[in-house]
Amino acid sequence: MAINKVFPSAAAALSGLTRDGITVAVGGFGLCGIPEQLIIALRDSGAKNLTAVSNNAGVDDWGLGLLLKTRQIRKMVSSYVGENGEFERQFMAGELELEFTPQGTLAERLRAGGAGIPAFYTATGVGTVVAEGKPHEVFDGRQFVLERGIKADLALVKAWKADRFGNLVFRRTARNFNPMVATSGAATVAEVEELVETGELDPDGIHTPGIFVDRIVVTKSEKRIEQRTTSS
């Protein structure tokens, strides 16, 4: 019997996967390619003391900013936080723990965690605060810092298309962190715009194999624009 990975709602797709204190990796870049409805369902689950691993924390009223507003996030592991006033307020007040990670390093930490690699060396960040307290090593006359791979309890991603097995296709820049996040989770839930039957996707066009995806939910996204720029 084929495994049914398709769930009727975002809340149903998260049922049994959320609890206090877990690490949640979330795809997206700004508001592009974020699993909007899964984030709302995570908020509505009431899970708290979360460690959220994401490139950023959305904005005050959308994306992970919704979970900051309800104080469900205890710690953020991010590379950029400049669009969220509540993030700034909580951090400056000592109410939110922050682990700054260079953007490429964050992507590689997620990829490494998904590949079963516990740690790796990188030159990025050497000599800065992000390298303080971490082991260093010299290779070929250059100093490197050791970074740990990230393994999340729960991974939330947004894809353009999926088949019923969970093979995912992302659309253009909305791919961003999503493939790395998808492989990093002990459980991975994908929010998708279009669902097709297994076998309909071109195998060469699949970005994340379905073996990494546990649950799927089809949603209609709002696709908000973080900073709207228009010409006169």
> Could you report the per-residue pLDDT of 103-150, keeping only the tens digit for each?
999 999 999 999 999 999 999 999 999 999 999 999 999 999 999 999
pLDDT of residue 168: 98
Superfamily holding 6-120+149-218: Glutaconate Coenzyme A-transferase (3.40.1080.10)
The answer to whether residue 1 scores a pLDDT higher than 60 is: no
What span, in angstroms and rounded, lies between the C-alpha atoms of 165 and 4? 8
Task: Name, in order, each residue with C-beta under 8 angstroms of 81's C-beta and a sequence gap of 6 or more.
Answer: 56, 57, 87, 88, 91, 98
β 152-163/168-169 pair status: antiparallel
Which phi and psi (to 5°) does residue 42 adopt? -65, -40
Q: Which of 193, 177, 187 is nearest to 215 (CA)?
A: 187
Using 50, 70 and 90 to split pLDDT, how confident is the model at 222? confident
What span, in angstroms and rounded, lies between the C-alpha atoms of 3 and 63? 30
* CB-count exposure of residue 227 (10 Å: 0-12, 13-18, 19+): exposed
pLDDT of residue 82: 76
Q: How far is CA 90 from CA 29, 45, 85, 146, 204, in A?
A: 21, 22, 9, 29, 44
What span, in angstroms and rounded, lies between the C-alpha atoms of 157 and 57? 14
> Could you report the per-residue pLDDT of 35-94, keeping only the tens digit for each?
999 999 999 999 999 999 999 998 888 999 999 999 999 999 999 877 788 988 999 999
The answer to whether residue 161 scores a pLDDT higher than 60 is: yes
The answer to whether residue 226 scores a pLDDT higher than 80 is: no
Kindly report the average pLDDT of the chain as a whole number: 95
The answer to whether residue 3 scores a pLDDT higher than 80 is: no
